Amino acid sequence: MALDKVLAIAGKPGLYKLVTQTRAGFLAESLIDNKKISVGTQQNVSVLSEIAIYTLSEEVPLNKVFKNISDKENGGQTSVGHKESKDKLEEYFFNVLPDYDEDRVYASDIKKVISWYNTLQKNNLLDFSEPVKSDEEE
């Protein structure tokens, strides 16, 4: 599953998979406990494919950050938990993304990235294959 079907919903723990659209919003399924919830259009929702991490030179898409973590961990769970100290989290993230912008990427952001990666990895939702381009995009 591509990251454009995975959601982070403000005020709700974990990640959600987009199930279907409704008139008043959409239906999402938790990747933690598989419970379905109705999400209204007024709720703050982030699609993981639209999230990027600031570096000193550019913004790196979250999928590339996840790929770097996967390469570092040989496809397994992270060696650092999301509840580690700020210093451990920053040291780990520096190994994953050496030029990340320390002024704009906070420890709370690193915690989310690590937690999200572990959730996606546990649910076998990490797909690092290149998207197939249509004839119009080429």
Q: CATH 2.30.30 residue ranges in the chain?
A: 3-48
Domain 3-48: state its class.
Answer: mainly beta
For residue 131, what pLDDT is reported?
Answer: 55
- The rounded distance, in Å, linking the Cα atoms of 3 and 34 is 17
For residue 41, what pLDDT is reported?
Answer: 86
Neighbours of 83 (CB within 10 A): 10
Look at the chain and count its residues: 138
For residue 89, what pLDDT is reported?
Answer: 95
E-assigned strand segments in the chain: 6-9, 16-22, 25-30, 36-40, 45-47, 52-54, 59-61
For residue 130, what pLDDT is reported?
Answer: 62
> What value does the mean pLDDT take over residues 28-55?
94
Share of the chain above pLDDT 90, in %: 78
Neighbours of 111 (CB within 10 A): 17
pTM, 2 dp:
0.87
Q: CATH 1.10.10.1650 residue ranges in the chain?
A: 51-122
Q: What does the buried/exposed string (b/e) look like for 34-55 if buried means 16 or more CB atoms within 10 Å of the residue's CB?
A: eeeeebeeeeebeebeebebbb
> What value does the mean pLDDT take over residues 108-130?
89
Which pLDDT tens digit goes with each residue over 70-86? 999 998 999 999 999 99
> What letter does residue 101 receive in the DSSP assignment?
-
Neighbours of 122 (CB within 10 A): 12
Q: Which among 23, 30, 28 has a CA at the least distance from the CA of 119? A: 30
> What value does the mean pLDDT take over residues 13-33?
93
Mean pLDDT of the chain: 90
For residue 135, what pLDDT is reported?
Answer: 44
From the candidate CATH numbers 1.20.1730.10, 2.30.30.90, 1.10.10.1650, 1.10.10.60, the one assigned to the domain spanning 51-122? 1.10.10.1650
Residue 44, C-beta contacts closer than 8 angstroms, at least 6 positions apart: 9, 10, 11
Reported as a pLDDT band with limits 50, 70 and 90, residue 137 is very low
